Structure 1
Amino acid sequence: MPMLLSNFIPPMINGVSASKVFLKALQPQPQSVYQYLCLEFPHIEAQEWLQRFQDGLIFDAQGQKLNVNSPFQPNSHVFYYRFLTHEIHVPFEHHIIFENEHFIAVDKPHFLTISPTGQYVQETLLVRLKKQTSIEHLTPIHRLDRETAGIVLFSKCIESRGIYQQLFADRKVQKTYHAIAPYLPTLKLPLTLRLRMEKGEPFYTTRQIEGVANSETEIQLLEHNQQWAKYLLTPHTGKQHQLRLHLSHLGIPIQNDPFYPQVKHKDDHDFSAPLQLLAKHIEFIDPVSKQQISLSSTFDLTLSS
């Protein structure tokens, strides 16, 4: 029987939460919810919306499943679930390394996107964790690039989520990274690099420009084998791709970087050459318990022979 609850809360299905869409009034008015969704989301193929209706993944505000002929009602809302027919499996596993009542600290492997986006839904760290923990309101407190491995924190508690997010926004979290990049004997280390960064081209990259620096990284040498070196990176700011651009600027781009110094598109099924960048350590004073939290990734990077 269909659910007839007036305040329907859609359940999580296989780690995926429902999205809510408000049906605003349009002129001319669509005849069906299906027509409205096709008009409002033209980047999603009509066949995909049709499949969602056929799979019983679209509900009205009372929890009743809708079909492709369900009439459009302006100023109401519907819920839908997003699943992909074909999704590339990421053959690496995450590990929970710490957990308390407020957050979970997770070791993210290379190639795993944090949250559903584009071509990834099930193969994201957030959905994997929701399936594992059954916590639907699990939310990332900060983020790592898909290509970067290492420690990421997820909020378990809605009430304290903002406190932890503010901790990162206020730069009160000390993060250190490891990176494998070419060894450059003429480069005098340690050093602190400051650059001005802005959005690049393509749009998912960044670039250096002239002007007052808005990014800062401390760089130290840990070890080397004459060809490759392991570097300890301490970012003092949090710009997108900051560490990757900074090392590339110094003439030592991170090993297997597909974006810097040049964009090199790889096949989505190719997991053979992970970016050698690891969020190795994180440290902060817990704003709730007032205790010092110090966590290290169980992953490691090794020098190539």
Structure 2
Amino acid sequence: MVFYILIDYTDYMQIKSSKKISLLELLQELAPESSKNRLRSWVEMGRVLVDGKAPKHVNQIVEEGQEVTVGAKPKYVQEDLKILYEDEDLVVIDKPKGLLSVATDLEKEKTVHAFLKHRFHNRMVYPIHRLDQETSGLLVFAYTKEAREHLKEQLEKRTMQREYRALVHGHPGSGTWRCFLEEDARMRVHVTKRGREAVTHFETIKKRENYSLLKLKLESGRKHQIRVQAVHFGYPIVGDPKYGIPEDAGKKFQLRAVALSFSHPKTGKWMQFSISQG
């Protein structure tokens, strides 16, 4: 399934209700040429606000004097968000490059987490792990506290398996990168002697004259782990805008989370997901 985070609406209007009325009836009065299904889609897509908040459903009662905004300026960028699997306990998505996994101090709305919450009218959605904004690929979110605890436990015990593909400069062969990482005040991660241990196993699956395509598996899951280790050990990822080399400026970032496996938190079934390298 493919969902769109929001269409980039630019025109919008605000009105105050002159009477007690259902939201659907009010929208029908404002846009008599539009079908009920279309009006419902406006609400579902977040295009309608009541007193600045998303309504719970299209039949919500609007009281006299309440302000209704139609064609609201979107909180989300337009992005394809591919949902690969979904049930009542969890969802697995293919995150596009350029979209945050979760909110930061500087950005609260343009995130996968915010979209999933918005899609279900602010239902509970729990992040299990993250991908860097520049990194595309597989992510799992939980819909219940029980699923969150089960999946988090798998992550901590390292039974959840995550695999990446990266195109790097040079020929590192195969082996393990092991070091300690620490984040500074500028949100850059560095190799240090007092940080948190980071372990990545890698294998070369294809070589070119000056490049290697690596299969990487995380044993730990530190922020920017693969990116920092790659450059620290002398094999920077092609196109890395934060840790890469100047010669790569403007090139496509070549890191993607291509495989994810874990035990389903309710059924115990072993779930395996894989996507193309892209």
- Normalising by structure 1, we get a TM-score of 0.62
Give the SS at the match of 1:165.
Answer: helix
The 5 Å alignment of 1:143-154 reads 143-154=130-141
Give the counterpart of 2:223 among 240, 254, 257: 240
Contact 2:44 2:119 in 1 (8 A): no
Counterparts in 2 of 1:160 and 1:151: CA distance versus 1, 3 Å: same
Map of 1:253 onto structure 2: 236
Matched letter for residue 215 of structure 2: L
CA distance in 1, matches of 2:208, 2:274: 24
**Is the Cα contact below 8 Å between 1:87 and 1:120 reproduced in 2?**
no
Taking a change above 3 Å as real, the CA distance of residues 135 and 193 of structure 1, as seen in their structure-2 partners, is same
Query: Which position in structure 1 is the counterpart of 2:52?
Result: 57
Query: Which amino acid counterpart does residue 300 of structure 1 have in structure 2?
Result: Q
SS in 1 for 2:80: coil
Report deviation, 1:130. 3.5
Equivalent in the alignment of 2:181:
197
Instruction: Tell me, yes or no, if structure 1 residue 108 matches structure 2 residue 95.
Output: yes
Unpaired stretches in structure 2, ≥5 consecutive residues: 1-19, 22-42, 54-61, 64-71
Q: Which residue of 2 aligns with 1:300?
A: 277
- Whether 2:108 is the aligned partner of 1:127: answer no
Q: Secondary structure at the match of 1:168?
A: helix
Identical residues among aligned pairs (%): 22
How far did residue 131 of structure 1 move? 4.2
Q: Which residue in 2 is equivalent to 1:183?
A: 170
Structure 1 residues 140 and 273 mapped into 2: Cα distance closer, same or farther (>3 Å)? farther
How far apart are 1:103 and its partner, in Å? 0.5
Shift of 1:222: 1.1
Match of 1:155 in 2: 142
Distance 2:190 2:271 in 1: 34
Q: Deviations over 1:104-148 (max 9, x none)?
A: 100001001123445544432123334445562122222111111
Deviation at 1:279?
Answer: 0.9
On the 8 A contact 1:194/1:213 being kept in 2, the answer is: no
Unaligned runs of 5+ in 1: 3-12, 17-51, 59-63, 66-83, 267-271
Q: Secondary structure at the match of 1:166?
A: helix
Amino acid at match of 2:228: L
Question: Helix, strand or coil: the match of 2:256?
Answer: strand
Offset, 1:256: 1.4
Of 271, 275, 280, the residue aligned with 2:253 is: 275
Secondary structure class of the residue paired with 1:214:
strand
C-alpha contact (below 8 Å) 2:135/2:257 kept by paired residues: yes
Specify the alignment match of 1:89 in structure 2.
77
The structural deviation recorded for 1:14 is 6.4
Q: Give deviations 1:220-255, integer Å, cap 9, x for gaps.
A: 101122132211111111111110011101211111
2:266 to 283, 288, 291: 288
Match of residue 214 from structure 2: 231
Contact 2:163 2:216 in 1 (8 A): yes
RMSD of aligned C-alpha atoms? 3.6
CA distance in 2, matches of 1:224, 1:279: 20
- Give the structure 1 partner of residue 192 of structure 2: 209
Helix, strand or coil for the counterpart of 2:239? coil
Aligned residues: 223
Displacement of 1:99 in angstroms is 1.7
**CA 1:107/1:212 → structure 2, altered by over 3 Å: closer, same or farther?**
closer
Residue type of the alignment partner of 2:202: I
Partners in 2 of 1:224 and 1:191 — Cα distance?
Answer: 16
After superposition, what is the alpha-carbon deviation per residue over 1:37-94, rounded to whole angstroms, capped at 9, x for unaligned? xxxxxxxxxxxxxxx9xx8338xxxxx99xxxxxxxxxxxxxxxxxx9786835x412
